[in-house]
Each structure stands twice: as C-alpha cells, then as structure tokens.
C-alpha cells in the first residue's frame, strides 16, 4: 500500500510509515480487533457469575481470541471459565 501522508510505498502490514513516521490505518484495525477479544473475555467474566453456560461460551471465545492477540483478555477468559465451572458445580450441588 501507499502512505496516505507522504505517498511512499510501504509494507501492507506496516503500522507506521518508515519514511515519514505517520501511523497507517493498520494500528486502528489491530486495536479494534484486540478490543473485541477483550470484550468477549470480559462478557464471559461477567456472565460466568449468573449464567455459567454463557460464561463458558464467551470465556472460550475470549481465550481463543486472546491467544491470537498477544494474550489480551487471557486473564479474564481464564477467570470466566474458572468461575463458570465453580458456579455450575455449586448450582448442581444446590439442586
């Protein structure tokens, strides 16, 4: 692709133009993707307290996304899966 600031050809994966140092659109895209991974992990974390099944689903998705995105949201995902499992066992015990 070409830098939108200086017009020089740069790598498609480049986050910053090596010629002028201006950020390319790639940075925003990566941030958005990482936020999605975090969102799933946090959704799973919240749901795990009330709905263990949803906690597992969101936690599992969050964990698989976290592994592709520098581990972002991994802690929340593992917490979600752990809490969901504990709540599920407690729920069974109460029945």
CB of 13 to Zn ion, least distance (A): 15
Cα separation of 29 and 88, whole Å?
36
CB of 19 to Zn ion, least distance (A): 4
| CB closer to Zn ion, 21 vs 75 | 21
Contact residues toward Zn ion (CB under 5 A) are 3, 5-6, 17, 19-20
CB of 17 to Zn ion, least distance (A): 3
| CB closer to Zn ion, 20 vs 29 | 20
Cβ contact 13:26 at 8 Å: yes
* Residue 87 CB burial class (10 angstroms; 0-12, 13-18, ≥19): middle
Short-list 16, 64, 15, CA closest to 36: 64
| CB closer to Zn ion, 20 vs 90 | 20
């Amino acid at each position: 692709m070409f830098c939108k600031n200086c017009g020089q050809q740069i790598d498609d994966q480049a986050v910053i133009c090596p010629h002028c140092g201006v950020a390319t659109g790639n940075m925003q895209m990566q941030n958005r993707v990482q936020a999605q991974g975090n969102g799933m992990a946090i959704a799973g974390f919240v749901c795990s307290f009330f709905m263990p099944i949803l906690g597992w689903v969101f936690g599992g998705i969050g964990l698989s996304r976290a592994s592709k995105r520098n581990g972002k949201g991994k802690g929340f995902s593992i917490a979600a899966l752990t809490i969901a499992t504990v709540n599920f066992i407690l729920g069974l015990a109460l029945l």
